Amino acid sequence: MKKGGFVILVYSIIGTLVGCLNCPEVPYPYYDFKGISLEYQNETIITNQPFVMSINESLIENVAKLNIGFFTSSLAIEKCTENGELGRKYYITNIQVVSNNDWDSEHPAGSLLNDIVLYETITRSNTGAINGSVYSKTLSEMNFFPNDVGEINLKFGTPPLSKTHEFTILAIKSNKDSLSATTQNIVWK
């Protein structure tokens, strides 16, 4: 009985080593993004509806793996990893929104609008399932965006004062890098 268990153990170890050797070391299994872009889900001239925009990753490049001791990340039962396949190395943890015009008396030009901008997140799992939040919380109520968030959407109501706004979005990543993007003039009629 002991001999049979030992033989199974040896074959298991050899199988794992052969499997690991069959997968070439991937120099850049994660990806990082060096910019953000803004996509508007409606026109820049808005009539009687909220303004909605998506924050997208841009300037994407593959990056080296996270160093976790001396262990390899490849296992015999896993398929070989491609560059960028393991996901983001750094992710957005915070978003700040400002306008170039007065939103209302409490939000003059250049002040944070996080307490009035609603957000939703969308996550796509490996199985293709889509999970997400709805526009129920403001950015000031958000503690952090988890690493698996695939899409962040922002929703603005109708401004009570100036009807023309240019929004600047500042995204802060988990490595403390700050990325910004600015909309065109958005006009409510």
Burial letters for 34-48: b for 16+ Cβ neighbours within 10 Å, e otherwise? eebebeeeeeeebee
> Is residue 132 situated within a structural domain?
yes
| pLDDT tens-digit series, residues 148-174 | 677 889 999 999 988 999 999 999 998
Residue 67 CB partners (closer than 8 Å, separation 6+): none
Residue 152 lies in domain:
33-68+89-188
The pTM for the full model equals 0.71
Question: Do β-strands 178-182 and 30-40 pair in parallel, antiparallel, or remain unpaired?
Answer: unpaired
Question: Do β-strands 167-173 and 92-99 pair in parallel, antiparallel, or remain unpaired?
Answer: antiparallel
> Is residue 53 situated within a structural domain?
yes
| pLDDT tens-digit series, residues 111-149 | 999 999 999 888 766 555 566 667 778 888 876 676 667
Number of domains in the chain: 1
CA 103, CA 112: separation in Å to the nearest integer?
10
Amino acid at 55: I
> Is residue 93 situated within a structural domain?
yes
> Is residue 57 situated within a structural domain?
yes
Question: Higher-confidence residue: 166 or 66?
Answer: 166
| pLDDT tens-digit series, residues 18-61 | 444 456 666 667 778 899 999 986 677 887 788 999 998 888 77
CA 159, CA 31: separation in Å to the nearest integer?
38
> Is residue 81 situated within a structural domain?
no
Domain CATH code at residue 181: 2.60.40.3550
Total Cβ atoms within 10 A of residue 88: 20
> Is residue 118 situated within a structural domain?
yes
Residue the block writes with tokens 């799992």: 125
User: Angle 66-68-69 (CA atoms, 0-180°, nearest 5)?
Assistant: 140
Residue % of the chain over a pLDDT of 90: 32
> Is residue 16 situated within a structural domain?
no
